[in-house]
Amino acid sequence: MPATVIVGTQWGDEGKGKVTDVLAENADVVVRFQGGNNAGHTIVIGEERFALTLIPSGVLNPGVMPVIAGGCVVDPKVLLEEIATLESRGVDTSLLRLSANAHLIMPYHRVLDAQQERFLGEAQIGTTKRGIGPAYTDKYARNGIRVQDLFDAKILADKLAVTLREKNKLLQALYDQPGMDEKEILDEYLGYAELLAPHVADTSLLISEALGQGKQVLFEGAQATLLDVDHGTYPFVTSSNPTAGAAAVGAGVGPTSITRVVGVAKAYISRVGSGPFPTELDDEVGARMVEVGGEFGTVTGRRRRCGWLDTVALRYATRINGLTDIALTKLDVLSEFDRLKVCVAYETDQGRFDEFPRQQRVLYESRPVYEELPGWATDISAARTLDDLPQEAIDYIAYVEKSAGVPVTMVSVGPQRDATLLR
């Protein structure tokens, strides 16, 4: 049975959690393959609202096995809190599996994240300060500590001693912060070993076996295409690859098992943190999007910057991820506006860009070229099939499909599960 990847096509918060939860109804395994608790995926089921940062959204479907794969970075304290919160709300987490290869976010990663941002001053990235960047930095510098190290006290102590020697120098001499106590960290992390033990597994093997048995596997992306460290608006990106190709690497399966890539696109666009954003609206319309769309971060509560849909970026996301289809979310929020704008190109003094520019400066200097489309200006949140939508909304969906060159197979008109129109 082939696997499906779900990825964000914008700067995050497109509604990947909701889309994953809906598709997970028919899935057996749902896998997070990159990122950490910088993600915030909100799922609404009836009157209940769940905000997940690390555990895949599939956990809310009974019987689905949620997997945190080796490409993720894991803050064990946050993971255990998330497990406890879910259990206290009656969600069974016993099937959760955590890769022994996943890297651990250590206390110094969180402090370094905040200090590096402080040092950048005006140039700061606006990270979530969860230690994501420093944890991936250590991974690639081969200084990282992995989940499996928790189960070998000597190795853990040795690795921690080596790395802390360097980190403490850095914290004290450069950042003017107190050093950290090796024994305290060691005791804390050894304490996590017992609690995490029932979940730790060879997740690559598990996923491969599931695929071999004809089971349905979903890969749930976190962050999004334009936050990708290689393909996003560097350096205003996250420190991993949230694009579809990374699902195979992060989970440890071959790319040939993936046959469907669903790109989640919000009907408008938002960004949290710094960096270029050509269609950003600094006006009443943008403020209305924030208000009606509830555009405040799930993780940090920060107000998200909002603007009109950017089809240049959407075409780019289609190409980079090899999208097979699109899930268009929050279409109901556009009911607020009589006229809708869609960016079709970027205009600069050097000419017009129909493709995402290779020189990032263009994104700052460009003026979006808009096409105007009629709005529908009626509440569509009660629609349950595409036939319930007004013609203008159907035309908007068709416009998105034509721009991206792939079909829209799912339209979301509200946070709830049933506010989902499938094609």
Catalytic residues: 13, 41
Contacts of 46-51 spanning 24+ positions with Cβ under 8 A = 46/416, 48/89, 49/415, 50/86, 50/89, 50/91, 51/298
- Residue number with CB closer to ligand GDP (41 or 199): 41
Site residue total, ligand GDP (CB under 6 A)? 22
Decide: 402 and 394 in contact? Cβ < 8 Å.
no
Q: How many CB atoms lie within 10 A of CB 90?
A: 7
Mask for 34-73, x = binds ligand GDP (CB under 6 A): ------xxx-x-----------------------------
Amino acid 333 reads V
Question: What mask, x for binding Mg ion by CB under 5 A, covers residues 275 to 314?
Answer: -----------------------x----------------
127 binds, among Mg ion, ligand GDP, ligand IMO, none (CB under 5 to 8 A by kind): ligand IMO
With binding defined as CB under 6 A, does residue 58 bind ligand IMO? no
Q: Are 377 and 396 in contact (CB under 8 A)?
A: no
DSSP 239-293: SS--STHHHHHHHT--GGGEEEEEEEEESSEEE-SSS--TTB--SHHHHHHHHHH
> Which one of residues 28, 228, 325, 332 is an interface residue with ligand GDP (CB under 6 A)?
332
H or E, element range at 196: helix 182-196
- Interface with ligand IMO in residues 118-147 (CB under 6 A): 125-128, 130, 132-133
H/E stretch holding 210: helix 203-212
Instruction: Write down the least CB distance from residue 398 to ligand IMO, Å.
Output: 26
What is the phi/psi pair of residue 392, to 5°? -60, -35
Sign of the dihedral defined by the CA atoms of residues 247, 222, 415, 49, in that order: positive
Min dist CB 138 to ligand IMO, Å, is 14
| Contact residue for Mg ion among 5, 13, 71, 271 (CB under 5 A) | 13
The 20-49 contact track toward ligand IMO, x by CB under 6 A, reads: ------------------xxxx--------
Q: Which residue is nearest to ligand IMO (CB)?
A: 273
Residue 289 has which token pair? 């999007």
Measured from the CB of residue 57, what is the shortest distance to ligand IMO in angstroms? 10
Q: In whole angstroms, give the CA distance from residue 316 to residue 223.
A: 16
Positions in the binding site for ligand IMO (CB under 6 A)? 8, 11-13, 38-41, 125-128, 130, 132-133, 222-224, 227, 236, 238-239, 272-273, 298
Positions in the binding site for ligand GDP (CB under 6 A)? 8, 12-18, 40-42, 44, 294, 298, 329-330, 332-333, 412-415
